[in-house]
Amino acid sequence: MNAPAESGSAAMSLAAAPSSKSWGAQFRRAMRRHPSLFGMPALLIASLALTVLIHPQFSDFDLQSLAMGALPLAFAAAAQTVVVISGGIDLSIGSAMAVANVLAASMMEGRGFGESLALAVLVLTIGAVIGAVNGLLVVLSRVPDVIATLTTGSIWGGVALLILEKPGGGAPQEFLNLGAGTLFTTWLPTALILLAVSVSAIWLPLRRSKLGLQFYAIGSDRIAAFRSGVNVERTRFAAYIFSGLFSAVGGLGLTMTTGIGAPLAGVYYTLSGLAAVVVGGVSLAGGRGGMVGPILAAFVLTLIPTDLIFLNIDPNFGQVIQGVLIVAIVMIGGFVTLARAQK
């Protein structure tokens, strides 16, 4: 993944004309411009190193459980990233994931592998429809994103409970193995492959397309984008569709990694996904950030409770640390901006 493909702001990457500066200066500039692209892998490697340090017998099994734990969160983060880049926010992602999760688990129980795959496509379609409904409501009602999606989140939560009242259902083992197995070696969890394949299949072409550029454009300045001929409402609508699609993949991932459907399991992912987006360096003001940061951040956030267990600390501190991380990161960000402004 090269820097321009995952660049922060669209305008900036357009302006990145070839310069006569030395390679080192260019590298430093790229680092300054896209801190998440360099910071997040470093943070992930550091936290992995820390994990190995406090748990020297880190095995292929630990890697598998990390990948499985991070899979749904990474998709939740991806879903949020699309909307946040285009200047909105989607607080219904967890509930949309729950709907996909319980739909998959209740329909796939006792089916064959082929049928499950067909049903998975159906679930993805329904996910996109959920996103479309969210987008339509946000655009048509003119109610601010936060409130509209907070409300639809409550509605989709009800729908999930309607489909499956209690945790249950299931899916054929071959289907579960798509997200919970390993390929070739036990050190390569299928969850990682699934994540890499589905994100690059959806996001990479999107990022390079006109629509992708429009997401960044309406996110960084809605009025300027409108004056340049971008159909703002249609673009916002499209962003929500992709958010719904990613949420549905996340819901399927949840089915694969847990083996069942749970109507209340999704709640956690709305906020943690947003945490991953913030930690991953996507500006909530819109128009800035890429997909790599939030997804890597999802792995870091998943590692925290694991490390706490290895350290014999109450894993419930994980949520405290997540909250503290968000608060600390945004506060440091605010402090840096303030210090720069006063210079």
Partner 1 sequence: MTDQAKTGLSRAVPGFAGGRIIARLRTHTIIVLILLLAVFVAGIEAARPGTVTRTWLSNMVLFAAPLGIMAGGQTLVMLTGGIDLSVASVATASAYLMGTHSTLGGVIAVLYGLSVGLSVGLINGVGIALLRVQPLVMTLGTGLMTEGMLVVYSQKVMAEGPHVPQFIEDLGAGKYLGVVPNDLFLWAPIAVLIIFVLRRTGYGRLLYAIGDNSEACHLSGIRVWRVLFVNYVVCGLLAAAAGLVIVGGVDAADLSLADIYLLPSVAAVIIGGTSIFGGRGGYSGTIVGALILTVLNSILTLLDAPEPIRQILYGVIILLLAAAYTRLTG
Q: Does the footprint of partner 1 cover residue 338 (CB under 8 A)?
A: yes
In the region spanning residues 305 to 324, those forming contacts with partner 1, defined by CB under 8 A, are: 314, 316-324
Residues in the chain: 343
Asked if 35 is part of the footprint of partner 1 (rule: CB under 8 A), the reply reads no
- Residues with Cβ within 8 Å of 79's Cβ and at least 6 positions away in sequence, in order, are 90, 93, 96, 242, 243, 244, 245, 246, 247, 250, 273
Give the count of beta carbons closer than 10 Å to the beta carbon of residue 146. Answer: 13
121 to 180, contacts with partner 1 by CB under 8 A? 137, 140-144, 146-148, 150-152, 154-155, 157-162, 165
Dihedral sign of CA atoms 165, 171, 175, 177 in order: positive
CB of 316 to partner 1, least distance (A): 5
Query: Which of residues 27, 61, 187, 335 is near partner 1 by CB under 8 A?
Result: 335
| CA nearest to 160, candidates 126, 112, 121 | 126
Nearer to partner 1, 206 or 321 (CB): 321
Site string for partner 1, 237-276 (x = CB under 8 A): ----------------------------------x--xx-
278 binds partner 1 (CB under 8 A): yes
How far apart are CB 74 and partner 1 at their closest, in Å? 18
What is the contact surface with partner 1 in residues (CB under 8 A)?
89, 137, 140-144, 146-148, 150-152, 154-155, 157-162, 165, 271, 274-275, 278, 284-285, 314, 316-327, 330-331, 333-335, 337-338
